[in-house]
Structure 1
Amino acid sequence: MADQNYSEAGGHSHLGSGSRITGELYFPGTVELPGYVKGRVEASSIVIEEAGEVEGEIHAASIDIKGRFNGQVTGGKVRLHTSARVTGEITYESLSIESGAQIEGKCRSQSYSKAT
Structure 2
Amino acid sequence: MSGSTFSVLGADTAIRGDISASADLHLDGKVEGDITCAALVQGESSQVIGAVTAETARLAGSVKGTITVRELVILKSARIEGDVHYDALTIEQGAQVDGRLSPRAAKVPEHETHLVLAASQD
For normalisation by structure 2, the TM-score amounts to: 0.81
Question: Are 1:71 and 2:65 matched, yes or no?
Answer: yes
Alignment of structure 1 residues 19-98 onto 2, 5 Å: 19-98=13-92
Question: Are 1:106 and 2:100 matched, yes or no?
Answer: yes
Distance 1:89 1:44 in 2: 20
Distance 2:91 2:19 in 1: 26
Distance 2:36 2:27 in 1: 12
Alignment of structure 1 residues 7-26 onto 2, 5 Å: 11-26=5-20
Secondary structure at the counterpart of residue 48 of structure 2: strand
Q: Which amino acid aligns with 1:41?
A: I
Distance 2:9 2:53 in 1: 17
Greater C-alpha radius of gyration: 2
For structure 1, which runs of at least 5 residues remain unmatched after alignment? 1-7, 112-116
Q: Which amino acid aligns with 2:67?
A: V
For structure 2, which runs of at least 5 residues remain unmatched after alignment? 106-122
Q: Which amino acid aligns with 2:51?
A: E
Q: Which has the higher relative contact order, 1 or 2, with Cα contacts under 8 A spaced 6 or more apart?
A: 1
Equivalent residue, structure 2, for 1:3: none
Q: Please tell me the root mean square deviation across aligned C-alpha atoms, in Å.
A: 1.3
Q: Is the 8 A contact 1:9 1:28 kept in 2?
A: no
The structure carrying a bigger strand percent of its residues is 1
Kindly, what percent of the aligned residue pairs are identical?
28
Q: Which amino acid aligns with 1:86?
A: I
Give the 4+ runs in structure 1 shifted more than 6 A: none
Shift of the alpha carbon at 1:18?
A: 2.0
Q: Which amino acid aligns with 2:18?
A: E
